[in-house]
A and B are shown apart, each in its own frame.
Chain A
């Protein structure tokens, strides 16, 4: 939290490399606008992550449902991105490779099939 605060408030150059054009178009079709310069924003879309949206079905599913899956999945798989994808893979752990494959199965299904449905709830 402190690192995030310092980086955002004191180490912010206001520039960043651009998000790819393909992603920008795909997100526009889901009514989410990608800011010109994500380095100067809060890195999360204001179309979704607000207190008001916690009271809408799609906002609730994304924030509360998504949070629940992260917590449950991390404990079940025995690690998260840093524990499995980075530390586990770099220590050549087979269970970590399997977990990373799982991360991508879930992530690809969500991004390509479920998110368009959830955002239209």
Chain B
């Protein structure tokens, strides 16, 4: 039952990312060239919806699939990691035109070569784990 619920949210994510074209390499190029409102509109609407949903969740208790209270943890105050990791992420985002979620959506479209990007991203995450103690946070 739990898996089914999670899967349905994932399926919805894939459909929304496709229909909004947020997974398009061309749309990411357009965004970083400030040539269109398209991506800013998507992200802006998502942030506004997010603010409303966060407030709703905080206004009265909401329980998850296992009956646990849903609460929000603050992000750790690791600003060096945010700016340095964020910049590396941005370099990769502008090259591949996709962030982690959309990679799976693109693979689902039948772009088999995207599997190489996914595996490389997993290797990148693994390398972070190895180097974690040596990096500034």
Per-position contact with B for A105-119: 1 when CB-CB < 8 Å, else 0?
111111110110010
Give B10's nearest chain A residue, CB to CB: A3
Take A67-B124, A69-B88, A71-B125 as given contacts and tell me if A90 and B47 are in contact as well, using a CB distance cutoff of 8 Å. yes
Q: Are B121 and A4 in contact (CB under 8 A)?
A: no
Take A3-B12, A27-B29 as given contacts and tell me if A73 and B36 are in contact as well, using a CB distance cutoff of 8 Å. no
Per-position contact with A for B97-137: 1 when CB-CB < 8 Å, else 0?
11111011111111111101111111111111100000100
Q: How far is the CB of B13 from chain A (nearest CB, A)?
A: 6
Q: How far is the CB of B25 from chain A (nearest CB, A)?
A: 5
Chain A residues 29-74 with CB under 8 Å of chain B are 34, 38-39, 42-45, 48-51, 54, 61-74
**The residue from B21, B46, B111 contacting A86, defined by CB atoms under 8 A apart:** B46
**The residue from A38, A88, A106 contacting B26, defined by CB atoms under 8 A apart:** A38
Give B13's nearest chain A residue, CB to CB: A3
Give A73's nearest chain B residue, CB to CB: B89
Q: Are A77 and B85 in contact (CB under 8 A)?
A: yes
Asked if B83 is an interface residue, CB under 8 A from chain A, the answer is yes
Asked if A120 is an interface residue, CB under 8 A from chain B, the answer is no
A-side interface mostly:
helix
Q: Are B85 and A78 in contact (CB under 8 A)?
A: yes
**The residue from A26, A43, A70 contacting B93, defined by CB atoms under 8 A apart:** A70
Give A82's nearest chain B residue, CB to CB: B101
User: In the assembled complex, which residues on chain A have CB atoms less than 8 Å from the CB atom of B95?
Assistant: 61-62, 65-66, 69, 110, 115, 118
Q: Are B121 and A23 in contact (CB under 8 A)?
A: no
Give A16's nearest chain B residue, CB to CB: B21
Q: Are B121 and A20 in contact (CB under 8 A)?
A: no
Give A118's nearest chain B residue, CB to CB: B95
Q: Are B72 and A91 in contact (CB under 8 A)?
A: yes
Residues of B participating in the A interface, judged by any CB pair closer than 8 Å: 7, 10-19, 21, 23-33, 35-36, 38, 43, 46-51, 53-54, 72, 74-79, 81-101, 103-114, 116-129, 135
